[in-house]
Structure 1
Amino acid sequence: MLVRLLRAYVRPYSRAIGLVVLLQLVQTLATLYLPTLNADIIDKGVVNGDTGYILGTGGVMIAITLAQIVCAIGAVYYGARTAMAIGRDLRAAVFDRVQSFSSREVSHFGAPSLITRTTNDVQQVQMLALMTFTMMVAAPIMCVGGIVMALNKDVPLSALLLVIVPVLGVMVSLIVRSLRPLFRGMQERIDTVNRVLREQITGIRVIRAFVRDRHERERFKGANTELFDVAVRTGRLMSTMFPLVMLIVNVSSVAVVWFGGHRIDGGHMQIGAMTAFLSYLMYIFMSIMMATFMVMMLPRAEVCAERIQEVLATESSVVPPAAPVTELRGRGHLELRAVEFRFPGAEEPVLKDVSLVARPGEVTAVIGSTGSGKSTLLGLIPRLSDATAGTVLVDGVDVRELDAEVMARAVGLVPQKPYLFSGTVASNLRYGHPDASDEELWQALETAQAKDFVEAMDQGLDAPIAQGGSNVSGGQRQRLAIARALVRKPEIYLFDDSFSALDYATDARLRAALARETGDATVLIVAQRVSTIRDADRIVVLDEGRVVGTGTHTELMASNETYREIVLSQLTEEEAA
């Protein structure tokens, strides 16, 4: 999985990678040549007392060292740039795929896991690419070159490599096999810590209100301790690798000096050759150490690559149309025909055979008990999810055939939980209409009954808004979200219980202002509060995902028992009449 992922994202940088390999090759060849020159200085210069030879060969060594330094700097520079570019492309690809997901896919992965996959998982793959370009390219060249040069110096002494290298290989492979499941557990526990922390930061007011600080500390401590335990086990296993490698390196050095000393004593080898052989042995071990370091990173990077690929391979259930309709000829006529929606694996659908019509210039309301599918129904119109059966039509066109930009211009949604982005009041209001003037923003704020509190802010339209709108109240957040939809001036307004945080007086003023502002548009309101929808032109009653009544307030009070029960749970008989 890791190789497949990297192959796809490395391809655009093949020239840069080719340059890195070339620079690493030159650098490694220069490194391998230096011990031979050093051996010549000892055997031909020092032993014979030839100062001129020592100086001349030393000058050549300095020139080769300078070339080695230049190539090393170039290889690291281009390798790091390429690795960072691959990480950037991976993050962009994951982000783009997540942006295409419907609420179904987002719920499947979970927001904390998607954040971890986009950041930490990509970072692990990026680090592997960086180490590969800066270290791993040179490691096999140095290992093979070191073996060749060692054989060139003394073939019998090189027989030690036949024992040393297999022992190292077996040891490293056993440790790596044990590391892989630990790294997968570590990434999953990072997800858990991310999720718990995100919940606690988001729900800090609830935690304080119920004095659950100690409980949440224990909850976070549990998740954090689980991550700590896995990390310690992983670190303990990783920490055993380098001492074992160094043990083998030192034992091998002693063996070379021991057997090499006997060969020098027997006249079969020179002192300079043994010195060079020791250097080549160190280079071989150095390359194995680099490979070992890479192999230690490999299991975690493989796990991360699998998690990234899971996101990239997941297709959204909301599929873009092959030949999108780019123009609507109507004025916002909305119709649902025998719509059904079922979550994957669910025994019963959330919505069953739902049909309704919402016309321009009219207010259509949807009411029902909690869990009757009201918000799910509203989410099918802007394609937050797609109906599993039936058709949703805007001006006679199936929404699954509409271009996304056309849909965005035609439909304005105010969700049940309005979300404001970090920035200013103005940047949030212009989210759907970047070119809106200040006058249009103030007009929308006035209609949404938000003008007074925005004017009271120190900087007015430039007043800062915290992430999620946490620095304004729930009612202010709802009114700003309504104003954001009004700035866009869509043909269809969808209000998903968007007045629930408002007091009755503000609710009444807001609905009166909306009636003037949206008089020619199609308005579809989902509400729990009867007073919000009793004056609607048409009220649709949902019960357990089915339409059980349609009509005006007066008609439904007379003929529909479900609606009557909902109304009388909130109003007296006299108020309802």
Structure 2
Amino acid sequence: MVKTLLKELKEYKLVSVLTPLCMIGEVAAEMIIPKLMGKIVDNGIYGGNMIYIFKVGLMMLVIALFGLAAGIGGAYYGSKASTGLAKNLRKAMFDNIQTFSFSNIDKFSTSGLVTRLTTDVTNIQNAYMMILRMAMRAPATVVFAMIMSFIISPRLASIYLVAVIILAFFMVIIMSKATVYFKEVFEKYDSLNESVQENVSAIRVVKAYVREDYENDKFKKAAGNIYNMFVRAEMNIIKMGPMMTATVYACILLISWVGAHMIVGGSLSTGDLMGLLAYCMNILMSMMFLAIIFVMLTMAQASGNRIAEVIEEKTDITNKEKAINRVVDGSIVFDHVIFAYNKDSEEPVLKDINLEIHSGETIGIIGGTGSAKSSLVNLISRLYDVTGGAVTVGGVDVRDYDLETLRDQVSVVLQKNVLFSGTILENLRWGDKNATKEDCIRVCKIACADEFIEKMPDGYDTVIEQGGTNVSGGQRQRLCIARALLKKPKILILDDSTSAVDTATDAKIRKAFAEEIPGTTKLIIAQRIASVQDCDRIIVMDDGQVSGFGTHEELLESNTIYREVYESQTGASADADFDKQA
């Protein structure tokens, strides 16, 4: 995990080295000053030597300025290194997420990925800052102060040593208990983000069903879980405060008591006692900082593991070394295809599928809910890989194609139509970033989208809100179809993409397909028989198998499922339905 995270330092390695060097310089300056103060008291004030006082005082000023400069440098370089690491971690995760196949994405929830990109990275950023600055400064302070103390008086310095050992022992016990709670906190963050995400994206549904109170309670519960976890962790940590305070004052009392007797006995000077007291505070305060660092590292460890999971996740769909970069035509063959989302599943989603589709054909696909219609077409553009058998496009196994080449030639309009923030033109150009406005208008006419775009005040420059909330479901579907057509694909897949379009517009779109893109193989998944009955052939799916494959007339004669649904939709039968067993 650490190796994965540190790889992302890249251009920030130099400032990561300079930060601890600056902190060591600051600590060295701070440790010299108490010793010089003791000399001023012993040799300057008691000796009445003003020249010595000014000389040592000037030296202290120079050292203090050096320490100040080192501290400022440490803060600057540390900030640059930690924020730079956070930037690179977010980029590394986001870049890797873009390579994920659908099966990879299925491993991580959306809210979980959001938490990793935000909260978890922030924890790593804060922890790295602490490591570079305080994790270097605090141990260095303890070591330097301990050395200076033993130089002054080994007897009194032994008091520090015993106090440090006792504090370290209790710190380990307390922190180990707090660690358990911090590790659980991030799972609660996922639940909180999920609650926010669902509420914001489905706010219209929430208001339509007057579920604001329910959503408020749900969010309150998620936030409360995080609160409770942090309280439990902090309840363990706050025990260190009184313990640290008691130890500090006990050390001061002991040093003052023993030191006073040593001064009377002539074995210690007043200046040395002042220096020892200063070193005492430095050592014990550094121990407190070490405790805080330990807490942050505990939180960072949990976050680091979650971030490393995303960065190290390897997509299970990759290009071969000598991938094919040209799709000859839009012919499709399913050869004994078996598919399961989970390879360990006892029952596959698709079972021994054998189909042959000619280039330029228009194929309808119908079937009941859960009959694996979408799973079937997802294999063509290799959004998933087959578990068994093979899918070929243009006579070549889809696994042998370059992914970008294949997906450029297999254009998919998914069930969930997504538009992005920006103008209509910007959304359309997702299909072809170099498309002219005339190209966009042409495909919008084919998709019957031009009729509503032209009625908008800004036409093709109309701004689409996030998620396309300012256009209707049918308009959103037509824009997505137009966007897919801009790719000029050899295969066009419409996954129930005209469900929100009225029948007249649906018929216009199908007619335009036949006239404008006759050479493109078209696969149309639909629930309405009217949407597919004019197709060259129709596939009837039932429980992951092909129940029938033929023309409308052939299926009416040979396929019971198709005939019953046709009769139900045309009024000939009142109780037939895709989801009822034929």
- Common fold by TM > 0.5: yes
Out of 309, 313, 338, the position equivalent to 2:336 is: 338
Is the 2:127–2:296 contact (alpha carbons within 8 Å) kept by the matching residues of 1?
A: yes
Report matched runs for 1:155-554 at 5 Å.
Answer: 155-328=154-327, 330-344=328-342, 345-554=344-553
Is the 2:178–2:232 contact (alpha carbons within 8 Å) kept by the matching residues of 1?
A: no
Query: Alpha-carbon deviation of 1:314?
Result: 2.8
Change beyond 3 A, Cα 1:11–1:425 = closer
Query: Alpha-carbon deviation of 1:484?
Result: 0.5
Residue identity (%): 38
Q: Say what the alpha-carbon RMSD is for the aligned residues.
A: 1.8
Query: Alpha-carbon deviation of 1:13?
Result: 4.0
Query: Alpha-carbon deviation of 1:312?
Result: 2.8
Q: How many Å separate the matches in 2 of 1:91 and 1:392? A: 36
Is the 1:365–1:536 contact (alpha carbons within 8 Å) kept by the matching residues of 2?
A: yes
Q: How many Å separate the matches in 2 of 1:398 and 1:252? A: 77
Letter paired with 1:343: Y
Is the 1:530–1:570 contact (alpha carbons within 8 Å) kept by the matching residues of 2?
A: yes
> Cα deviations across residues 525-571 of structure 1 (Å, max 9, x unaligned)?
11111110000001111111011211100011011112112222212
Letter paired with 2:60: M
Letter paired with 2:169: V
Range moving further from structure 2, 384-393 or 4-13: 4-13
Letter paired with 2:567: L
Given the alignment of the two structures, is residue 38 of structure 1 paired with residue 56 of structure 2, yes or no? no
How many positions carry a matched residue from both structures? 574
Query: Alpha-carbon deviation of 1:11?
Result: 6.5
Q: How many Å separate the matches in 1 of 2:276 and 2:41? A: 13
Letter paired with 1:111: T
Q: How many Å separate the matches in 2 of 1:407 and 1:247? A: 70
> Cα deviations across residues 331-381 of structure 1 (Å, max 9, x unaligned)?
222222111111223221110111222322220111111110001111111
Q: For 1:384, what is the secondary structure of its paired residue?
A: coil
Task: List runs of 5+ in structure 1 lacking aligned partners.
Answer: none
Letter paired with 1:334: I
Is the 2:335–2:353 contact (alpha carbons within 8 Å) kept by the matching residues of 1?
A: yes
Is the 1:5–1:305 contact (alpha carbons within 8 Å) kept by the matching residues of 2?
A: no
Letter paired with 1:342: A
Is the 1:478–1:498 contact (alpha carbons within 8 Å) kept by the matching residues of 2?
A: yes
Query: Alpha-carbon deviation of 1:25?
Result: 2.1
Q: How many Å separate the matches in 1 of 2:377 and 2:43? A: 89
Letter paired with 2:335: R
Query: Alpha-carbon deviation of 1:169?
Result: 0.5
Is the 2:179–2:233 contact (alpha carbons within 8 Å) kept by the matching residues of 1?
A: no
Change beyond 3 A, Cα 1:517–1:251 = farther
Q: How many Å separate the matches in 2 of 1:225 and 1:280? A: 43
Range moving further from structure 2, 280-289 or 183-192: 280-289
Task: List runs of 5+ in structure 2 lacking aligned partners.
Answer: 577-582
Query: Alpha-carbon deviation of 1:264?
Result: 0.9
Is the 2:145–2:282 contact (alpha carbons within 8 Å) kept by the matching residues of 1?
A: yes
Q: Which residue of structure 2 aligns with residue 154 of structure 1?
A: 153
Change beyond 3 A, Cα 1:274–1:6 = farther
Q: TM-score, normalised by structure 1?
A: 0.96
Q: How many Å separate the matches in 2 of 1:409 and 1:11? A: 34
Q: How many Å separate the matches in 2 of 1:122 and 1:412? A: 35
> Cα deviations across residues 412-445 of structure 1 (Å, max 9, x unaligned)?
1100111111111111100121111111111111
Q: For 1:493, what is the secondary structure of its paired residue?
A: strand
Q: How many Å separate the matches in 2 of 1:67 and 1:361? A: 78
Q: How many Å separate the matches in 2 of 1:558 and 1:139? A: 84
Is the 1:478–1:499 contact (alpha carbons within 8 Å) kept by the matching residues of 2?
A: yes
Query: Alpha-carbon deviation of 1:573?
Result: 4.4
Q: How many Å separate the matches in 2 of 1:321 and 1:421? A: 32
Query: Alpha-carbon deviation of 1:10?
Result: 4.1
Range moving further from structure 2, 263-272 or 195-204: 195-204
Is the 1:358–1:524 contact (alpha carbons within 8 Å) kept by the matching residues of 2?
A: no
Letter paired with 1:126: Q
Q: Which residue of structure 2 aligns with residue 55 of structure 1?
A: 54
